[in-house]
Structure 1
Amino acid sequence: MFSPHGPSLRELAVQALSSVEHGYDLLAPKFDHTPFRTPDGVLDATTDALRAFGPFDRGLDVCCGTGAGMRALKPLCRGRVTGIDFSSGMLAQARGAHPDAEWVQADVRALPFAEAFDLAVSFGAFGHLLPAERPAVFAGVHRALRPGGLFAFPLGAPPPVTSGWYWALLGFDLAMRVRNAVWRPPFVMYYRTWPLRATRDDLAAAGFTVTTVPLASLGRREDGSPRYRLVLARKAGKPA
C-alpha cells in the first residue's frame, strides 16, 4: 500500500491524532509516496475531458496539497496557475515541485479571490470538508471565477453495498466519527459525505449550472455505469 519512502504506521498515527492542518504539515514530505495522492490516471482523465472546454487563461487548484493537480491544470491554461491550501507543509512541497506556479496559503472556506480565474479544479480533498461547509466553499469558488468560468472535479461512484470497499469505507467513517467524538482537535476525513446529488444541489444553490461527463478511461462498474464522473459547474456569463 505504501512505498518504502512513505510514512510509517507511527507517523500516520501521529497525523491522525493531530488537527487536519498540522497532520498534513507532518505528512507533507512523504505524502506523494502514499495512496492518498490523487493517481495520475485520474488527473490525466480530467485533463483529457476538459480539453474540449478550453483553452483557459488562468487556473486555480482548490485544496492543492503538494501540487499534483498541476499535472492537469498546466496543459489546459495559457496563463498563470495558482494553488491554494491551508497547510504550509504541503505548500512547501508544492513550491519545490512547481516553482513556476503561484502558491497561496488560505482557508478554502473563505477564498481570497474575486473574478480572477477561468478554470478551477480540485482533486481528492473534499473528504476534509464537512457537508455543512460545502456552500461556503462553492460560493468562494463561484466568486473566484470570471464570468463563464468553469469549476471541475472528479467524483467516484459509491461502491455497491455488496462490495468489500463499501463496508471498509463505512467502517473508516464510523471510526473517524468515534475518534472525533473522544479526541481533540478533530481530524476531518470522511469518504461518504459528498454524494453526487447533494453536491449538485449545493453547486446550483451557489449559482452554478451543473452537468457531468463520464471519465470513460477510468472504467465502468458491473452495472455499466462509470466509475468516475467529472462534475462541471459553469458560472453564468460569457467567457472573455
Structure 2
Amino acid sequence: MFSAQGPSLRELCVQALSSVQRGYDLLAPKFDHTPFRTPQSILDATAQALSEFGPVSQGLDVCCGTGAGMQVLRPLCQGRITGVDFSAGMLAQARNAHPDATWVRADARALPFADGFDLAVTFGALGHFLPAERPAVFEGVYRALRPGGLFAFPIGAPPPPTSVALWVTLGFDLAMRVRNALWRPPFVMYYRTSPLPAVLDDLTAAGFTATTVDLTALGRRRDGSPRCRLILARKPADPH
C-alpha cells in the first residue's frame, strides 16, 4: 500500500494520535506516496465529466491537501484557481507543486469567501467532518460560489454487504470511534458517515439543486450500479 518514499509505521502512529490538523502537517511531505491521496483514476474521471461545463473563470478546491485537485480545475478555469486547507504542511506541499495557484489557509467549516468562484470541487474530504458539521461546509461553499456556480465532488458507492471492503470500513470506523473516545485531541476520519442520501439532503438544505451522474469510467458493480458517482450541486442563478 505504501511506497518506499511513504511514511513509516511509527510516523503513521504519531499522526493517528494527533489532531487532524497536526496529523496532516506531519504527513504532508510524504502524503502523495500514500494510498490516502485521491487516486488518479478518480481525478481523471471527474475532469472528464466536468469538461462539458467549462470553460469557467475562477475555481476553488476545498480541503485541497497537496493540490491534486488542481489537475481538474486548471483545464476548466481561465482565471484564478485557489486551494483552501487548514493544514499549513499540506499547503506548503501544494504551493511547491503548483506555484501558479492561490493558496489559503482556513477551516472548511468557516470558509472566508463570498461570491468569488464559478466552480468548486473537493476530493476525499467528507470523512473528516462529522454529520453535524457537514452543513457548515456546504453552506460555506454555497457562499463562495457566484450565482449559477457549481460544486462538484465524487462519492463512492457503499461496499456490497458481503464484501471484505464493507467489514474493513466498518472495522476502521469502529477503531476510530474507540480511539476518539479514549484519546484527545480527536482525529476525525470515518468512511461511513456520508451516505449519498444524507449528503444530498444537506446540499439541498444549503440551497443547492443537486443531481448526480455516473462516473462510468470507474466501472460498475455486479448489480450494474456505478462504483462512483459525481455529485453536481448548482447554486441558483438568482439565489434570491
For normalisation by structure 2, the TM-score amounts to 0.98
For structure 1, the 5+ residue unaligned runs are none
The one-letter code sitting in structure 2 at the alignment partner of 1:14 is V
Secondary structure, in 3 states, of the residue corresponding to 1:131? coil
**Aligned residue for 1:221?**
221
Deviation, structure 1 residue 69: 0.6
**Aligned residue for 1:19?**
19
What number of residue pairs does the alignment pair up?
A: 238
Secondary structure, in 3 states, of the residue corresponding to 1:212? strand
**Aligned residue for 1:53?**
53
CA deviations 1:16-55 (Å, max 9, x no partner) are 0000000000000000000000011100100110111221
**Aligned residue for 2:130?**
130
Matches of residues 38-187 of structure 1 in structure 2 within 5 Å?
Answer: 38-187=38-187
Counting aligned pairs with the same residue, the percent is 76
Deviation, structure 1 residue 215: 0.3
2-structure distance, mates of 1:65, 1:114: 21
For structure 2, the 5+ residue unaligned runs are none
The one-letter code sitting in structure 2 at the alignment partner of 1:164 is V
2-structure distance, mates of 1:55, 1:160: 37
1-structure distance, mates of 2:52, 2:225: 22
Moved over 4 A (4+): none
Secondary structure, in 3 states, of the residue corresponding to 1:233? strand
CA deviations 1:98-120 (Å, max 9, x no partner) are 00000000001000000000000
Secondary structure, in 3 states, of the residue corresponding to 2:95? helix
CA deviations 1:151-176 (Å, max 9, x no partner) are 00000000011000000000000000
2-structure distance, mates of 1:133, 1:148: 24
CA deviations 1:186-205 (Å, max 9, x no partner) are 00000000000000000000
Secondary structure, in 3 states, of the residue corresponding to 2:186? coil
2-structure distance, mates of 1:204, 1:54: 24
For normalisation by structure 1, the TM-score amounts to 0.98
2-structure distance, mates of 1:217, 1:124: 18
Deviation, structure 1 residue 125: 1.2
2-structure distance, mates of 1:92, 1:53: 30
2-structure distance, mates of 1:54, 1:94: 24
Secondary structure, in 3 states, of the residue corresponding to 1:150? strand
2-structure distance, mates of 1:203, 1:100: 31
2-structure distance, mates of 1:125, 1:204: 19
Secondary structure, in 3 states, of the residue corresponding to 1:177? helix
Q: Does 1:5 align with 2:5?
A: yes
Secondary structure, in 3 states, of the residue corresponding to 2:210? strand
The one-letter code sitting in structure 1 at the alignment partner of 2:121 is V
RMSD: 0.6
Secondary structure, in 3 states, of the residue corresponding to 2:146? strand
2-structure distance, mates of 1:125, 1:230: 14
1-structure distance, mates of 2:157, 2:91: 29
